[in-house]
Amino acid sequence: MVWDNTTFLSTDPVSTAADATGFFQTSTTIPSKATAGTHVLRVQSSEAVFVDTSVTVNVGSITFSKANGPPLSKIQVTGSAFDANANVTVYFDGTALDAASTKTDSIGGFVSTVTVPLTAPGAHTIKAETSQFNSAVSDFTVDSPTLTIQPSSAKPGDEITVYGSSFAVGGKVKIFVDKTEVKTKPEELTTDGSGNFTTIIYIPRLSFSSVVHISARTGDSDVAIIGYPLNQPALVLAARTYTKIGEVIGLGFLLVLLAVKAYQKLFFGWLGRNRHISEQQQLVGADSEQNPQLYSVREILVAIATLFKRSIVGILKKLKYIS
């Protein structure tokens, strides 16, 4: 037998003879380097009689138990039409996967379970190969990690629930609020077999912006970030209250000025009058009935207190605090 008019093939048995009707039976092996597609197989007798026939070499193909998944998740690769009883190596983006080697059965089929490596989200390729002449490639998508938060908004100091999905399977999760790591409940937080997790955190009380950025990570490339709105407490001052405060401040300042002026007038007037009276006493004598009466310090203070009282009552009436 001759393969593609170039390669002589051995047969089993090595030689055989046709019967009276020209029938014979034998077997041969397709060359290991045969490429997928149609080839010519020639059967030739010793009398230089030959017959050509076509042989189709099947193309190996692979399918996955799922077309996408997170890093470190496990998928099942199923292959068919590969070399029979051959070792199979599975590659992810050209790199052989650990413990991914297996062997095909008698008809070139196999099943192998592999682990998706830690890698960036997006499209990647998985390849199964039994030899350089028989391999199959198919696409696989690594999921992007995502976050959702309940409730939809909160204020500083509130408790919120963070849900993560499609993170690295079995990865230790860290949660950050504006790049600052925060405590989680539970404290030791890891993803489940599907790369998901649920945790409770508190928004820091010293968060003053209207939006904080909450992120979760299990590795350098396994990160998800989401903006989260904050309801900051509003500082509201009623117009009437604000007006009264302004009036109190303004009138209070005026009151101080008036009090100072009154004190100056009364005090210095008292000094001048007492000085004048003292001089008169020296001229006419201390026991004279014509001596004017002196103002005491107590009388001056009482006069100032009365002035303050009247001014304060007037201000309170103006602001309608009293009637």
- What tens digit of pLDDT does each residue of 51-102 get? 888 887 777 899 999 999 999 999 999 999 888 899 999 999 999 997 667 8
Matching fold, domains 61-142 and 146-229: yes
C-alpha gyration radius of the chain = 50
Domains of the chain, residue spans: 2-57, 61-142, 146-229, 239-318
**pLDDT of 268 over the 90 cut:** no
Which one is predicted more confidently, 184 or 301? 184
Using the Cα atoms of residue 303, residue 307, residue 312 and residue 314 in order, give the sign of their dihedral: positive
The predicted structure's pLDDT at residue 21:
80
Q: Is 274 left (phi over 0), alpha (psi -120 to 50) or beta?
A: alpha
Q: Give 167's pLDDT tier (boundaries 50, 70, 90).
A: very high
Higher pLDDT, 77 or 295: 77
Instruction: Give kind and range of the element (H or E) at residue 62.
Output: strand 61-64
Pick 61-142's CATH classification: 2.60.40.10, 2.40.50.140, 3.30.70.2970, 3.90.105.20: 2.60.40.10
Q: Greater confidence, 25 or 124?
A: 124
> Are 201 and 157 spatial neighbours (Cβ–Cβ below 8 Å)?
no
Mean pLDDT of the chain: 80
Q: What whole-number distance in Å separates Cα of residue 63 and Cα of residue 74?
A: 14
Q: How far apart are CA 304 and CA 293, in angstroms?
A: 20
Whether cis (ω within 30° of 0) applies to the bond prior to 204 is: no
Of the chain, the percentage scoring pLDDT greater than 90 comes to: 41
pLDDT in tens, 23-59: 878 788 777 777 777 888 888 776 677 788 888 777 7
Q: Are 23 and 17 in contact (CB under 8 A)?
A: no
- The one-letter amino acid code at 232 reads Q
The CATH fold of domain 146-229: Immunoglobulin-like (2.60.40)
DSSP letter (8 states) at residue 172: B
Question: pLDDT higher for 286 or 46?
Answer: 46
Please determine, for residue 322, whether its predicted confidence score (pLDDT) is greater than 60: no
DSSP H helices in 169-296: 239-284
pTM of the full structure: 0.59
Question: Which of 47-51, 175-179, 236-240, 314-318 is the least confident region?
Answer: 236-240
pLDDT band at 288 (very low <50, low <70, confident <90, very high): very low
| pLDDT surpassing 90 at residue 143 | yes
What's the confidence (pLDDT) of residue 142? 96
pLDDT value for 314: 67
